Amino acid sequence: MRDLQFTFNRPETSSRGLLILRLFFAPLYVGIPHGFALMFRGIATGFVLFVAWWAVLFTGSWPEGMHSFVSGTYRWAMRVASYIYFLTDEYPPFTGKE
């Protein structure tokens, strides 16, 4: 079983103006597009998890493609959350890739 690890690289200084803008508008310009895309990706992840559960039950191993899809969804969601909660200044990409 592989573990998921999250690493955050915080900058030494942050822009105060950008902080105020992000405080009020980040849920709009980040939450709406990423939330919409992640909603459909989350539904697909639910189906993949269901199929993967059966695959693990019968084969004893987690299929690599399914694992990378599910972990990519969680990676993407964590990037969005870390941007909204001011843990990073890097805008999250619309992908779950590393």
Of the candidates 73, 74, 71, the residue with the CA atom closest to the CA atom of residue 2? 71
Segment 57-89, tens digit of pLDDT: 999 999 999 999 999 999 999 999 988 888 888
Q: What are phi and psi of 47, to 5 degrees?
A: -65, -40
Segment 16-48, tens digit of pLDDT: 888 888 888 888 888 899 999 999 999 999 999
- pTM for this entry: 0.80
Q: What's the rounded Cα separation, in Å, for the pair 14 and 37?
A: 28
Q: What are phi and psi of 24, to 5 degrees?
A: -95, -30
pLDDT band at residue 1 under the 50/70/90 scheme:
low
Question: Distance from CA of residue 96 to its chain's centroid?
Answer: 6
pLDDT at residue 38, as a whole number: 95
Q: What are the structure tokens assigned to 84, written together?
A: 């909204």
